[in-house]
A and B are shown apart, each in its own frame.
Chain A
Amino acid sequence: MSSEPLLRLEGVSKRFGGLTVLDRQSFSVSAGEIVGLVGPNGSGKTTTINVISGVHQADAGRILFEGREIQRLKLFRIARLGINRSFQVPKCFRAMRVRENIEVAATFAGRGAVDIDEILAGIGLADQADAIAGALTVNQQKMLDLGRALATNPRLLLIDEIGAGLNPAELGGIAELLKSLAARGIALIVVEHLLDFLNRITDRVIVLGAGRMLFEGSLKAASQDPDVVAAFIGG
């Protein structure tokens, strides 16, 4: 188990105006691994995903994917390297049909052929393939974003609060889906407030508080860590 990590962050910081939203984050993720990313509202979880996926640029630090610096690359370059993501607030192509949403990524990512029907089945939207994406529920749209990401044949997937508002059966289905992706060697960073859900898919979490990494380890140990407890209670 001494393989080079797929992703490594070294002292990554991000500011918005005067506000430091990410403060010198450093961690790594290996192929096939699932890492939970937790923290109170506004602690920088989404921003972490934004800087890794190229939606925002880090102000300092390095982001290495397979040993290669990616923090200055454009979105489409990062996607073509095999990093992709879903969104907390869905951002699918609303005026396109569900199938077309997947087709765009399958067409442009240039990361090998994908089976669009299989992806649609995997995200539970096979029956809605011809529906206009904007007409789906918010949760379905989040799944469609995941499908768009899967159609690029990613090696690293960043998932932002895909479980919010789902019932236990639906959550169970997504947990199984994510585990099966990891079993295929895809690395996952999963942002989630639902700790039971995270517990089912991983025992490694990173806890953020006000942009800083407070803790890294098992979920169980996290709940006993004084810094973590203070962050969640103190806000």
Chain B
Amino acid sequence: MRYPAAVLAILAAMFLVLPHVYGNQSVLFTMMTFMALAQGLNLLYGFTGYLPFGYVGFFGTGAYATSLLVTFTGMPVLVCVLGGGLAAVVVGLILGPLLRLSGAYFSIANLAASQIIYYVVANEALKHVTGGPYGVKIEQVYAPTASYATMLAVLLLATGLAAYFRRSRFGLGLRAMHQDPISAGLAGVDIVRERLIVWLASAGIAGLAGGAYAWNLSVFYPDAVFTLQISVFAIVFALFGGVGTVIGPLLGAALLYAFYAVIGVSAPQYFELLYGLLIVLLVLFLPNGLMSLLIRRNVDVL
């Protein structure tokens, strides 16, 4: 699994074949959503060290921008989804100055920003535009198969970007910056620009995923696309697999989401307990995720 093309091909084949052998397409769709989000978060956290607690803000922005474009413009839905990605990138640009903060300050400011977006969107006063607390209805464009394919495309895009960050000249600069920003600057790396590009790419992926998700649900409340749990899942899934790699976040999200889908739904009381336990074990024994088991043995993983 060293080659980007192989990873992309396996991913695509898997999610094209699975619906034919496993009937519950909604589980598969949500799994892809979280794989895309874990990968999108990994772009930022894994390659620059900025941990965006408010990552869900971009997802919600994409979901709402897509829905509003569908409602008010009548453009093809796919174009509206792209518009959702673009809206998240614009929000990322506006929040760009947050990158000057470091560590926990960045994470918390980003969290606050996502909450602000949520409160604006869900505000009663905006009910004629966003639907306010009553949510969004775009059931006229409901199309489970097309939205499923779109989410798969977003997942492949996120994974392609991660592979690019891991193996390109641009990625070499990122690695240097992540280890020592001052020395990276002295080596000639434009760290402000590289950081901003990664931030916008990460935001864009969440926005596109939000758009495809909104399309797939087609009727939802603001909570559904702004709940903090989405950020938490993306972070935990990515960490579990191993950030800074391409395969890690995919594996982490697939395994943990499958676990959630099996136990979380049938026996939620045990699920919380087991999940908590799993996270504690992870932090204690495998802080760099599943992939570190291979990397430690000098296996060249993507």
B-binding residues in A (CB < 8 A): 53-55, 74-76, 79-80, 84-85, 91-96, 100, 103-105, 107-111, 145, 148-149, 151-152
Contacts and interface: CB of A to CB of B under 8 A. Distances in A.
Contacts of B189: 76, 104, 108
B185 A107 contact: no
Interface string B184-201: 111111111000000000
A105 B175 contact: no
Given A76-B189, A79-B186, A85-B186, A108 B180 contact: no
18 contacts: A53-B186, A55-B182, A76-B186, A76-B188, A91-B182, A95-B175, A96-B175, A96-B176, A104-B172, A104-B176, A104-B189, A105-B186, A107-B187, A108-B188, A109-B188, A148-B186, A148-B187, A152-B188
A128 B43 CA distance: 31
A109 B187 contact: yes
Given A84-B186, A96-B179, A104-B176, 4 more contacts: A91-B180, A91-B183, A100-B172, A111-B188
Interface in B140-172: 169, 172
B62 interface: no
Nearest to A106: B187
A23 B159 CA distance: 52
B179 A148 contact: no
Contacts of A92: 180, 183
A149 B185 contact: no
B60 interface: no
B173 A93 contact: no
Q: Among B169, B185, B187, B192, find the residue whose CB has the most chain A CB atoms closer than 10 A.
A: B187
A105 B169 CA distance: 11
Contacts of A95: 175, 179
A179 to B, nearest CB: 23
B179 A152 contact: no
Interface of B: 169, 172-173, 175-176, 179-180, 182-192
Given A105-B187, A105-B188, A148-B187, A75 B182 contact: yes
Nearest to A53: B186
Given A76-B188, A79-B187, A107 B182 contact: no
Contacts of A96: 175-176, 179
Given A104-B172, A104-B176, A107-B169, A148 B183 contact: yes
Nearest to B193: A76
Nearest to A151: B187
Contacts of B169: 107
A114 to B, nearest CB: 12
Nearest to B179: A93
Would you list the 3 A-B pairs with minimal beta carbon distance, nearest first?
Answer: A75-B185, A108-B188, A109-B188
A56 to B, nearest CB: 10
Contact of B187 (A53, A54, A55, A152): A152
A104 B187 contact: yes
Contacts of B185: 54, 74-76, 79
B176 A93 contact: yes
Given A103-B172, A107-B169, A108-B173, A93 B188 contact: no
Nearest to A55: B182
Nearest to A54: B185
Contact of B188 (A79, A91, A100): A79
A89 to B, nearest CB: 11
A80 B184 CA distance: 12
A71 B108 CA distance: 33
Contacts of A104: 172-173, 176, 184, 187, 189
Nearest to A95: B179
A93 B186 contact: no
Contacts of B182: 55, 75, 91
Contact of A108 (B179, B187, B192): B187
Nearest to A77: B190
B72 to A, nearest CB: 42
B175 A76 contact: no
